[in-house]
Amino acid sequence: YIKMRLSIIRTATNSFARGNYARISSSDLSFFEKAIGKDYVKTKEIENYTSDWTRQMKGSSECVLLPSSTEETSSIIKYCAEKRIAVVVQGGNTGLVGGATPIHDELILSTGRIKNNFHLEPSSGVLTLDAGFILADADNRLAEHGFMMPLDLGAKGSCQIGGCIAAGAGGIRLLRYGSLHSHLLGCTMVDGKGTILNLGGRLRKDNTSLHTAHLAIGSEGQLGVVTSVTMGVVPRPLSILSAMLAVSSYSDCIRILSLARSKLGEILSSFELIDGETMKCVESHLPLKNVFQGSHDFYLLIETHGSNGDHDAEKLNQFVEEALGMELAVDGVAANSENERAHMWRLREESPIAAAKDGYIYKFDVSLPLEHFYRLTEETRDKLKGRGRVYCYGHLGDGNSHLNVTTDGEDEELKKELSPFVYNWVVSHGGSISAEHGIGQLKRDYRSLGKSASESSLIRSLKGVFDPHSILCPYKMISTQD
């Protein structure tokens, strides 16, 4: 990752008044040292924990705790509940909304050492693993048995399994394999009272109770600390193929998506969009070249996962030829080697890096119905009237737009206008202000947009059941400190 110059499009940190929480004392530190060992109670050189990886969202903390088990986590949370010590839960710390970043002086509980248990049942494809496992490491271990994780993220080398669950991570494979709700079977979670909750189980079918484990997905640490996850994993494909198309209009992009669903069917895995301005940005700021001659308004990156390379290649080539023959695409190419496939994916995956190099950046992660997906980009450009540059890339297959606005320098007036405009526009057009990054502190002021009062009340009631003293991740997605 690089350290982006992210615009602070959130309410300033100092606007979150400190809640009525206890401050950490020497006696508290002594208890923590006895509970998990002195080496795992950090009070110095903890800057990497007190800011997110962009270094733009910063807080402070007296200490970082690194428990190694569910039981140690339970002991810590139970003590903090009794003492009214606020806790922020942190996994790989790769989020972009400040959900894992302290705001005042919250204790930081890092789950990075909770990675002792890893058990796969090859016959059923059910995996149980501790929350601290890094996504890429888990995927590599599964590869030895012919399986893979159903999700793939740009942050896979740093993000942890528990954090993926808590953030409700999406990624590039959702079109083929579905969301985490399609795979989570159970989890162990320590609630805000320190109680160890074993939710769900290992069965793919079990309708004997409410599906409580799914409350953990997207919970952002508000209900508890996820320490173990049981989920279904998927067979690793024997054939992975990619192709890119150059397209002249967004309406044709949608028609091509329909064609891909029809012609590629069960092997269609990813359908990504890069707009022409983003591709120009990539070529300007990175040592990468477009796979096509000249410039085009849109580029589509399609990937297939299958079990028969010849069969899949024939289907993909026929799809590309049909898109060209129907004049939906103006150019198209299928990757003929792993190097070509990797190059195509670098163009998409390094689009955020290129945008970050372009100037002061304002980032948005939203979901929209497909008919409005690119209208947001167009209307944002109209709104700015040349005051900034607008880039769009994202997961067109599931309606997830990553909208980026860059300026030559920080613009306070633009900052005040941009977030309300984007978020209100998204909700008014049937979308969500957070597709896969969560709410955290970045979007806290907008969290009620598109949500009914009854739903908000229900969520706060659930918070009270799991975390009655509101010690977990205060000031963020669900807060009793308002």
Q: Average pLDDT in the 446-461 region?
A: 91
Q: What is the pTM of this model?
A: 0.90
In the 3-class helix/strand/coil scheme, how is 344-379 assigned residue by residue? HHHHHHCHHHHHHHCCEEEEEEEECCHHHHCHHHHH
Residues 76-103: pLDDT tens digits? 999 999 999 999 999 998 888 888 999 9
> Which sequence spans correspond to the domains of the chain?
1-234+451-482, 239-351, 359-446
pLDDT exceeds 60 at position 3: no
Which pair of tokens denotes residue 13?
């940190």
Q: Do domains 1-234+451-482 and 239-351 have the same CATH topology?
A: no
CATH 3.30.70.2190 for domain 239-351, yes or no, is yes
pLDDT band (50, 70, 90) for residue 13: very low
Q: Average pLDDT in the 20-44 region?
A: 97
By 3-state DSSP, what share of the chain in percent is helix, strand and coil, each rounded to 5?
A: 35, 20, 40
Say which residue the tokens 């790769």 belong to. 94
Residues 121-138: pLDDT tens digits? 999 999 999 999 999 999
**Do residues 304 and 259 lie in contact, with contact meaning Cβ atoms separated by under 8 Å?**
no
**Separation of first and last alpha carbons in the chain:** 34
CATH number attached to the domain at 359-446: 3.30.70.2740
pLDDT band (50, 70, 90) for residue 434: very high
Query: For residue 81, with 0-12 CB atoms within 10 Å meaning exposed, 13-18 middle and 19 or more buried, which class applies?
Result: buried
Note the CATH architecture for domain 1-234+451-482.
Answer: 2-Layer Sandwich (3.30)
Residue 66 neighbours by CB distance under 10 Å: 21
Q: Average pLDDT in the 16-20 region?
A: 88
Residues 256-284: pLDDT tens digits? 999 999 999 999 999 999 999 999 999 99
Residues 151-165: pLDDT tens digits? 998 889 999 999 999
pLDDT exceeds 70 at position 477: yes
